[in-house]
A and B are shown apart, each in its own frame.
Chain A
Amino acid sequence: KAGVTQTPRYLIKTRGQQVTLSCSPISGHRSVSWYQQTPGQGLQFLFEYFSETQRNKGNFPGRFSGRQFSNSRSEMNVSTLELGDSALYLCASSRDYEQYFGPGTRLTVT
């Protein structure tokens, strides 16, 4: 069974730009969660989508948004990028409470 895939794996953007990251869950998994990982703040929950609806949301500004499609694939968008948004963005899919992670997208904001 294929694992969680994320694209792209690496991104370099400039401050003020926006970015869209994509996540394809494991087949049959309907829940997708997103996390931001930084050396200073560790792993922080961004949001979770289930059946195209946002079910949980973390404490991030409105510049961070997401959506989920009918095939359970999910995207997250960050608008007006700031230097502090540089991080590894991880998505995870689950069918119940066990979450399986993708390899992440490394975003660098310059």
Chain B
Amino acid sequence: GNSVTQMEGPVTLSEEAFLTINCTYTATGYPSLFWYVQYPGEGLQLLLKATKADDKGSNKGFEATYRKETTSFHLEKGSVQVSDSAVYFCALISGNQGGKLIFGQGTELSVKP
């Protein structure tokens, strides 16, 4: 079946450091890929998305590229801020199950001043 695997956290970085959170997936066909972010006590916010191979999603300085050859969708940011501290989830939707997001286990990011 379809699945998403993320690097384990927590990840602790200093402010202005470079961030990479790895995400790989297993899916039939051509899924759409997403990154969501969850701040403490809140629901999930859509951070960025990509719907086909080689698409690059970007938002608020975060980027991720849909790599079909490596089945990956790694999240990157060039310079993190304390306000980026949150839990990040990689997710996919398979074409024939439109309303069913499949999530990775989440990666907690802590950014220290």
Contact = CB atoms under 8 A, between A and B. Distances in A.
Nearest to B97: A56
A97 B34 CA distance: 10
Interface in B58-98: 89, 93, 97-98
Residue of B51, B93, B101 contacting most chain A CB atoms (<10 Å): B101
A99 B43 contact: no
B100 interface: yes
Interface stretch (A14-22, A41-49, A79-87): A41-49
A102 B99 contact: no
Contacts of B93: 97
Given A43-B89, A97-B32, A97-B93, A102 B101 contact: no
Nearest to B99: A48
Contact of B103 (A42, A55, A104): A42
Contacts, number: 55
Contacts of B36: 101
A52 B53 CA distance: 33
Contacts of B43: 4, 90, 101-104
Nearest to B98: A97
Given A90-B43, A101-B45, A50 B101 contact: no
Given A94-B99, A104-B42, 6 more contacts: A31-B99, A48-B98, A50-B99, A58-B100, A99-B46, A103-B43
22 contacts: A31-B99, A33-B99, A42-B103, A42-B104, A42-B105, A42-B106, A43-B89, A43-B103, A43-B106, A45-B101, A48-B99, A50-B99, A55-B99, A58-B100, A90-B43, A92-B44, A97-B51, A97-B98, A99-B101, A100-B46, A101-B36, A101-B44
